[in-house]
Amino acid sequence: MTDQKSREYYQALLEKDTEYEGVFFVGVKTTGVFCRPTCPARKPKLQNCEFFATAEQALLASFRPCKRCQPLSHPSHVSESVQQLVEMVEQNPEKRWRERDFEALDLDASTARRQFKKRFGMTFIEYARARRMGLAMKEIRKGKPVIEAQLSTGYESSSGFRDAFSKIMGSPPSLGEEGKVLSAAWLDTKLGPMVAIADEQDLYLLEFVDRRGLEGEVERLRKKTKAAIIPGKTDPIDSIEEELDQYFKGELTCFQTPVKLLGTPFQMEVWEALCTIPFGDTWSYAELAASIGKPSGYRAVARANGANQLALMIPCHRIINSNGELGGYGGGLPRKEWLIQHEQRSGISLGV
Ligand SMILES: [Zn+2]
C-alpha cells in the first residue's frame, strides 16, 4: 500500500468516517487486534497501523477481531450467532473445524453459517482457517525462532499459538535431535504477501499467503520431506526475494533460483511444460495438454496445473480457458489478470 493511501485511511480512521466501512480494515500492531474504520476505541499511532482490504488478509497477518467494533459483523446489524462463532474460534484458535463440530453447538448452525458468509464474504470454516494460518504466519513474518517468539507473545494465549504453529508447520526438532528443517519467510510483494519455504539448496514452495489450500500444501510438503518448518531465511530465499523484486519491476522474465519439484512424474511433466510458455504469452488447458502429447488428458492436466507449489516461477497463471476467459487461479483471479497484463507489458518493453 502506498504511503498516500495509508495516510488517507489513517485520516478516515481518526474521523471514524463511515464511508470507509468495508473499504479497509486496520490492524493495530501494539494490541494485535484489527478494527473497522469507525471503531470507538482510542486510535493508534499511524506507525502502529497496518491497513487491509479484507478481513481475511488481516487474519492471515495474525490479527484477531476487535471486541469493541466487531469487524466481522455488519456495522448496523451485529448478529449474535456470528459473534458467537467468532468467539468460539478465539477460545481455541488452533482448532480445525469439521462439519460435525456444528452439531454440538447451541445455535442454529445453518442459519449462523449463512449469516456469516453473507456478512463476511467467506465461510466460517474459511475464517477459522485464516485465523489459524495467521497464527502460524505471525512467527514466519517476524522471522524469529519459535521459542523466542513464544516468550514474547503477550497477547496470544501461548498454548493456542504454539499449537497452531506446530500443527501447521511441524514441531521443530529439539536440541541435539536429528531432523530435517526447512526455513520459511514472509515476503511482501506488490500483489500481497507471499511465503517462501526452502532448505539450504533449493526452494520448495512459493505461494501467496492467502492462497486457497495453502495449509494443505504445507502439510503435504512436510510429509514428503519429513521436515519441520521454522521461521528463517536461507540462500534460495534471499535469491527469490531479489528475483521477485526484479520480476515485479518488469525486469525479469525467467527465475533462476534453484527449486525442488515434489510431484508425481505426470505433475512434473506438466510443470516442465508450463515453464516452456513464453513470458508474456498465454496458453489454453487444451494447448498445454497437447504439448505433453495428452490432448484428451485435459482434466488431469488442469489438476496438475493447480497442484503447482511455486507460484510465478512455474507460470500456471499463463493458462487460460480456450474461450479467452481467465479460468481459475489459486491465488485469485484479480492477481491472475494482473500477472498476465504485467508480463505482456514488460515483455514488450524488454523486447522478448
Ligand atoms: Zn475496534
| Helix, strand or coil, per DSSP, at residue 259 | strand
- Confidence (pLDDT) at 36: 93
Position 76 confidence tier, pLDDT thresholds 50, 70, 90: low
205 CA distance to ligand 1 middle (Å): 35
315 CA distance to ligand 1 middle (Å): 40
Distance CA 197, CA 309 (A): 10
Torsion on CA atoms 138, 29, 129, 82, rounded to nearest 10? 160
Q: Which of 39, 49, 66, 316 is catalytic?
A: 316
pTM for the whole structure = 0.80
265 CA distance to ligand 1 middle (Å): 50
Question: What is the per-residue pLDDT across 325-352, written as a single tens digit (0 to 9) for each?
Answer: 888 888 888 899 999 999 999 988 888 7
**241 burial type by CB count under 10 A (0-12 exposed, 13-18 middle, 19+ buried):** middle
The answer to whether the CB of 289 falls within 8 A of the CB of 276 is no
For the question of residue 316 being annotated catalytic, the response is yes
As separate numbers, helices (DSSP H) first and strands (DSSP E) second, the chain gives 13, 10
Radius of gyration for the chain, computed over Cα atoms and rounded to the nearest angstrom: 21
User: What is the amino acid identity at position 102?
Assistant: F
Which of 119-123, 129-133, 194-198 shows the highest mean pLDDT?
A: 194-198
Overall average pLDDT of the 210-218 stretch:
88
What domains sit in the chain, N to C, each tagged with a CATH number?
A: 1-70 (3.40.10.10), 135-233 (no CATH), 265-350 (1.10.10.10)
Say whether pLDDT at 73 is over 80. no
138 CA distance to ligand 1 middle (Å): 20
- Confidence (pLDDT) at 278: 94
156-185 as b/e, with b when 16 or more CB fall inside 10 Å? Answer: beeebbbbbbbbbbbebeeeeeeeebbbbb
What sections of the chain are H helices per DSSP? 3-14, 55-60, 80-91, 109-120, 124-142, 146-152, 158-169, 214-225, 235-248, 265-274, 285-291, 298-306, 333-350
Overall average pLDDT of the 169-194 stretch:
82
- Confidence (pLDDT) at 74: 61
34 CA distance to ligand 1 middle (Å): 6
> What sign results for the dihedral spanned by CA atoms 208, 210, 211, 214?
positive
Q: Which residues surround ligand 1, an ion (CB under 5 A)?
A: 35, 39, 41, 66, 68-69
Lowest-confidence region among 162-171, 265-274, 277-286: 162-171
Distance CA 17, CA 38 (A): 6
Name the percent of the chain lying above pLDDT 90. 48
